[in-house]
Structure 1
């Protein structure tokens, strides 16, 4: 159980607000959530719980799966979710209406996602269950096409490696973290 969630202004480097809540978070180390327009969107077992800043549940978006990761595109007002069990990217609006679903046979062991400055969704995947090989898929904003833009190897052979991915707009760099190693990529 979680008592509160801190909202941090990273430019000011301080917590600007605590949201009082008592909610059950998923039983794994990483709980997908994002904050926009004074609301918290938090992954739950069957979709997304939307809370206001007082900690009151505003609504639940039922998806029929637990989003293993999700992010929000502020420009397009879209939520992108990973359905890990079916290796799918699902794009919805803020009310939960499906805009598109993207599947590809190469999209395996999907773990994390982010959005680049052109609105493309970047998905970090592990090619095998020992997590040694990874790749990044780039999915078009309309969900009609995708391509692998990065393939790599790292030295860890763990079945539960913690990984993350984010796109840094100011520097136009993609940052991937795996255990203690950080990889940065810049578009040519």
Structure 2
């Protein structure tokens, strides 16, 4: 076991591994945080932001970009590799409602976001 959150409810929810295999990113929806762990399970950093409420989906692109869905903040943000700061807001409340999953397709330069409640999928062109 690398990491365990012993609190109840929706704590550790989704995870993704960096392309280099040296970081694990974990969403904690009750604490509204993105955890960055070393491969030995040690906590490197805890990221919080007002645009990241109830984070669910997390994805790391081949280039190491960390993408996170804030389901109740209705956002998809990009966080730096260390998990310390927000680099960009890719989608906001005007674009999405309840994003739960995110995935990137490098060979076709697209990001796909799955939404709760309306069962829709949004496809964004990467720039």
TM over 0.5, shorter chain: yes
Give the equivalent residue in structure 1 for 2:90. Answer: 149
Deviation for aligned residue 1:95 = 1.4
Q: Which has the higher contact order (CA 8 A, sep 6+)?
A: 2
Partner of 1:166: 103
CA distance in 2 between partners of 1:69 and 1:98 (Å): 16
Q: Answer with 1 or 2: which has the greater Rg.
A: 1
Q: Contact 1:173–1:185 (CA<8 Å) still a contact in 2?
A: yes
Query: Which ranges of structure 1 fall in alignment gaps of 5 or more residues?
Result: 1-58, 129-133, 155-160
In the TM superposition, what is the alpha-carbon distance from 1:76 to its structure 2 partner? 4.3
**Given the two structures, how large is their TM-score scaled by the length of structure 2?**
0.79
Distance 1:120 1:135 in 2: 16
The structure whose residues are more often strand, as a share, is 1
How many residues align structurally? Answer: 119
Q: CA deviation at 1:165?
A: 1.4
Which runs of 5 or more residues in structure 2 are unaligned?
Answer: none
1:30-179 alignment runs, 5 A limit: 59=1, 61-65=3-7, 66-127=11-72, 134-146=74-86, 147-151=88-92, 152-153=95-96, 163-178=100-115, 179=118
